[in-house]
Chain A
Amino acid sequence: MRNVYVHGTGTVPVGEHWESSLLDLATKAALIALDSSESFEVGACVVGNMLSGIINHQENLGAIVADALGLEQVEAVKIEAACASGTAALRAGYLRVASGLVDNVLVVGAEKMSDIPAPSVIKTLSTAAPFHAEVIHGASFVSLNAILTQMYLRHYNLSQDCLGIFARQAHKNGTRSPHAMFQKEITVDQYKSSPIVCPPVRLLDCPPTCDGAAAIVLSSNKPKSTPIKLAAVEGANDWVALADRENPLQFRAAQSSARKAFKAAKLTQKDIDLFELHDAFPVLAALALESLEMAPPGNAWKEAEKGTFSLNGKLPIQTMGGLKSRGHPVGATGVYQAVEAVLQLRGEAGAAQVKEPKVALTQTFAGLAASVYSAIFQKEA
């Protein structure tokens, strides 16, 4: 297995891009990444996306994006793992380079959710949930996260709004992040007075429907300046239906994929300087942290209130806004997390910069952590 290095990266700001198509966004991010790489030559174009078929009437995204970039004779494929598609695409790129079979791979994450009305988007996202066990009963990811949040709050005897710190911290960090969709803080009062969507989940707990694209070039060639290694990217699954989980408050796939990643990277949790976690809903951020024992069970919110996870805390999370404030263009999210990790390690995160990080962990969930990918980026000396 060879080392895999990061070359160019590229993003478009997350938002509602009425003037651009899905392909426009993907192309833009990809060109920034390719133009900032040592070479434009790649052997594969791997595109992470979830909803292009249902929303944008376009499949075959690997070939479609390669075509837009004028890439010839390259492998071209779309990778789909619901909201984890971006990191699953990163894994697909990583495998090609680490194995020795392809020297340079372009990984693009792209999603354009605003091409259909928001209520319809919620329905398309439900394709990640099991149809017969959940969807035909009227479940969607908002209601499923609400059921999970209620279980969590009851189990640990917590008041309704204490997980709100994760939404507020995301927004606080988003104000320093140029590509974040929301660059506005949420106050405690604003949070507590935001309408309940599905009890106990509030409007300000929910990630936005949005558009975005991020790209990263992976290579077996060690770059001349600030080499950042993609030290590992590993995946694990859990039973998809909430009802099939013996303990719904335990995210086995999050634990397992992270453990595999640490093992592959020959690192431990103590080595992590920042964690881009999957904060689609506050309960998921809490469970992501507790699954890796970064906070005692039921206490992630308390640690967050203390500042443990803030930009200058012991373990920064949501450093460039997280899913809540940077945004969650589902299939693209994993690649945004990767690019943010790389910017942090390179010292290029501007106002959002964490102090001298050397190792970053990113983690992305499909649905309720049914398929989880964890990636570790490491700055080489």
Chain B
Amino acid sequence: MRLQGVQCLDCRAKFLPARTVCLSCKSRSLEKVFFNATGTVISWTQVAQPPSGFPPGQSFYLALVQLDEGPKVLAQLADQLESPIKEMRVKVVIRRLTHGELEQPILYGFKFQEIL
């Protein structure tokens, strides 16, 4: 499993999601790259009342993760039953993100799962 982002051809800075202008050196030369989708949890919280559009009544953990190969990413933790621990090792998995509200498409994306 890999995550696609961009890398600056001039200063090698990495970004996810993809962007047009490098935040470090302002270059426009950004190419698509894949990051190995493993990382470490830096911080997290628990959301007991999901915003509308997310499965109601299903509490989830939201975490800020430092990918091994570069940028930090914010995403949910999948299948996380207990409180996460700082510096917990995680890997990316594909999951459905939203519940599907009226007139809205169902969004699929990624979450992070503890590497056991």
Contacts and interface: CB of A to CB of B under 8 A. Distances in A.
A150 B51 contact: no
Contacts of A224: none
B32 to A, nearest CB: 15
Interface in A115-150: 119-120, 122-123, 126, 132-134, 136-140, 143, 146-148, 150
A119 B76 CA distance: 20
A243 B44 CA distance: 12
A51 to B, nearest CB: 15
Interface residues of A, number: 31
A138 B43 contact: no
Nearest to A117: B52
Contacts of A19: none
A200 B44 CA distance: 10
Interface residues of B, number: 32
A151 B43 contact: yes
A137 B64 contact: no
Q: Which of A119, A122, A243, A244 has the most CB of B within 10 A?
A: A243
Given A143-B45, A239-B23, A123 B51 contact: yes
A154 interface: yes
B33 interface: no
Interface string B2-26: 0000000000000111000001000
A122 B47 contact: no
A146 B62 CA distance: 10
Contacts of A139: 62, 74
Contacts of B46: 198-199
Nearest to A137: B75
Nearest to A151: B43
A134 B74 contact: yes
A134 B63 CA distance: 11
Q: Which of B45, B71, B76 has the most CB of A within 10 A?
A: B45
Contact of A154 (B45, B48, B71, B86): B86
Interface in B34-57: 42-54
Given A138-B54, A243-B64, A243-B71, A150 B47 contact: no
A147 B43 contact: yes
A122 B97 CA distance: 18
A55 B64 CA distance: 30
B100 interface: no
A252 to B, nearest CB: 12
B17 A138 contact: no
Contact of B74 (A146, A154, A199, A242): A242
A241 interface: yes
B45 A150 contact: yes
Interface of A: 119-120, 122-123, 126, 132-134, 136-140, 143, 146-148, 150-151, 154, 197-201, 239, 241-244, 248
5 contacts: A137-B97, A138-B60, A143-B45, A199-B46, A241-B74
- A-B complex: 3 closest residue pairs judged by Cβ atoms: A146-B45, A243-B72, A198-B45
Interface of B: 15-17, 23, 42-54, 60, 62-64, 71-76, 86, 97-98, 107, 109
